[in-house]
Amino acid sequence: MYKPILTAAAIVVIACGCQYLYNSESYHETVVVITFDDAHKSIYTKAFPLMQKYGYPATNYVPVNRLDIEDHLTVGELHILEDEGGWETGGHTVHHVNLPQVKIEEAEKEIAGCFDFLVENSLQHCTFALPSGHANEEIIGIIKKYFSSIRGSEDFKMTCPADCYSLGYYDARNTDGSEKIIARILRGITNHECVVIIGFHYIYADKSLHSRAVTPQEFNEVLEFINERNLKVKTVSQMLEEW
């Protein structure tokens, strides 16, 4: 029998769970996971209403020092996304630092501080996204103390079994248009990937304002495609729980 573990970090890792995505019997249809990074206000004002239109949840990775400042999400809005939209909030450090470029003690403060903020504000806190997609083995070990899954920034084929501490994703860019994003989902279906993770940052009418912006129309076209194909859309943690 396991002895009780008293630390919040240990409790959340057990509660959220982390196992390899594994299916030994048969192929299951590809699941789509939509993620957002960096807590920009357009996630709430532009993306959320479109996601609600289709009833889709998302995973929202937030650097917590960007919350409650101009043009960014508030803690109250994160609760609305979770409570009304079924979204998941995830960690993205405190200051969005490139973790291997700081001392290991500072890296742990960034990771632990982000985790503590989410817990203290009664927000979900199971998954973590690497700022700039960079980490070494020591940093990964620290993240595992607090979070139960890690999304990087590389796009690769994710078939079962897949390591929940090494999740890839497709990073939508302003040069993509909806066609390239849809093509990535189609490739995942064709290749029998267990999950395709599509990541967004900014939803702007004028996508020239940022290299990681897509327009509301493009974003809606992606959601329309997912809806027309009757694909399942889940949060990162929902996806991990099912597989």
Cβ-Cβ contacts under 8 Å for 24 (sequence gap 6 or more): none
Please report the pLDDT score of residue 16 as a whole number: 66
Structurally, what CATH architecture does the domain formed by 14-242 represent? Alpha-Beta Barrel (3.20)
Separation CA 207–CA 213 (nearest Å): 5
Please report the pLDDT score of residue 169 as a whole number: 96
Residue 203 or residue 24, greater confidence: 203
Question: Which amino acid, one-letter code, is at 219?
Answer: F
**Cβ atoms < 10 Å from Cβ of 203:** 26
Please report the pLDDT score of residue 18 as a whole number: 56
Asked whether the whole model's pTM tops 0.85, one would answer yes
What digits encode the pLDDT tens for the residues 219-229? 999 999 999 99
Q: Does 26 have pLDDT greater than 50?
A: no
Residue 117 or residue 19, greater confidence: 117
What digits encode the pLDDT tens for the residues 27-70? 468 999 999 999 999 999 999 999 999 999 999 999 999 999 99
What digits encode the pLDDT tens for the residues 141-195? 999 999 999 999 999 999 887 799 999 999 999 999 999 999 999 999 999 999 9
Task: Name which of 134, 117, 11 is nearest 68 in CA terms.
Answer: 117
Q: Does 7 have pLDDT greater than 80?
A: no
Q: What is the average per-residue pLDDT within 136-141? A: 97
- What mean pLDDT is reported for the chain? 90
Q: Does 2 have pLDDT greater than 50?
A: no
Task: Name which of 149, 178, 214, 209 is nearest 12 in CA terms.
Answer: 149
Q: Where are the domains of the chain?
A: 14-242
Please report the pLDDT score of residue 162 as a whole number: 78
